[in-house]
Amino acid sequence: MKSLWDPIKTGYLRLIEPVADYLVRRRVNPNVITTIGTACTVAAAVTYAFGHISIGGWILGLTALFDVLDGIVARRTGRETKFGAFYDSSLDRVSDGMVLAGLAVFYATDTPRHSVQMVIICQLAIIGTFLTSYTRARAEALGIDAKVGMIQRVERVVLLSAPQAFFGLAFNGLVLGIIVSLLAVTSWITAVQRIAFVHAATTPKAVRREPLADLSSQTTAAPDGAPAAVHAPSPRP
């Protein structure tokens, strides 16, 4: 069954195909693409921190291009390596943390929209985002593909970029607050779903207990090494 994101992904891949072809012809190192993408994400985070939410959303939206291109170029040029996968995953965590940290700084310092509650929500979102990534990585180390749950990284990037790019601080920042809160909640739900998935995959099925034998056929040892006595049922009166 196709998800709502499948047509969007297909269209996006067709859109960036010329860019991917150009990078493949130039034999650009995939790790360089990953690094540039992370630098753009950090720039978006700083932009968020200074309160330029709409501009930050557009900058962050561009980083999705690099997230896809590094993998495509690596596969087409035969440069898929274990270090490349490790490097990409590590910088993804930097990107996730920096964007939410930038929003936390915005809520902590922007006087008109200063909100301790939103700073806390941003921190919870950071922890939840890291936890969703860690649970999947740890599951893969156990040989389990735990790519399950309510929200994946693609959805997180979209939630942190598209609404901000189009709405900015519309409705006195209500849209931004809802998006950050939604991200925090769904990240924690996803983490719990992955924990439950791994628990189910690693816990053996309960062994059915054999029915107890009739007590009349059992014997018990007598004290002091005496011969075992057979417990027969008492006669009915």
Q: Report the pLDDT value the prediction gives residue 68, as an integer from 0 to 100.
A: 85
Quick: pLDDT tens for 131-157: 999 999 999 999 999 989 888 888 888
* Confidence band of 226 (pLDDT split at 50, 70, 90): very low
Query: Is 145 among the catalytic positions?
Result: no
Map out the domains of the chain with their CATH numbers: 5-202 (1.20.120.1760)
> Does 114 have pLDDT greater than 50?
yes
Quick: pLDDT tens for 54-106: 999 999 988 888 888 898 999 999 888 999 999 999 999 999 999 999 999 99
Give the pairing type, strands 219-220 and 229-230. Answer: antiparallel
Q: Report the pLDDT value the prediction gives residue 81, as an integer from 0 to 100.
A: 92
Q: Report the pLDDT value the prediction gives residue 39, as an integer from 0 to 100.
A: 95
Cβ proximity of 185 and 195 under 8 Å: no
Q: Report the pLDDT value the prediction gives residue 153, as an integer from 0 to 100.
A: 85
* Confidence band of 191 (pLDDT split at 50, 70, 90): very high
Name the range with the highest mean pLDDT among 1-15, 86-100, 208-222. 86-100
Cβ proximity of 190 and 198 under 8 Å: no
Task: Tell me the DSSP string of 139-190.
Answer: HHHTT-----SS--HHHHHHHHHHHHHHHTTHHHHHHHHHHHHHHHHHHHHH
**Residue among 67, 70, 88, 92 flagged as catalytic:** 92
Using the CB atoms, write b or e for 159-173: b if 16+ within 10 Å. Answer: bbbbbbbebbbeeeb
Write the Ramachandran bin of 168: left for phi over 0, alpha for psi from -120 to 50, otherwise beta: left
> Does 215 have pLDDT greater than 50?
no
> Does 16 have pLDDT greater than 90?
no
pTM, two decimal places: 0.79
Quick: pLDDT tens for 102-112: 999 999 998 88
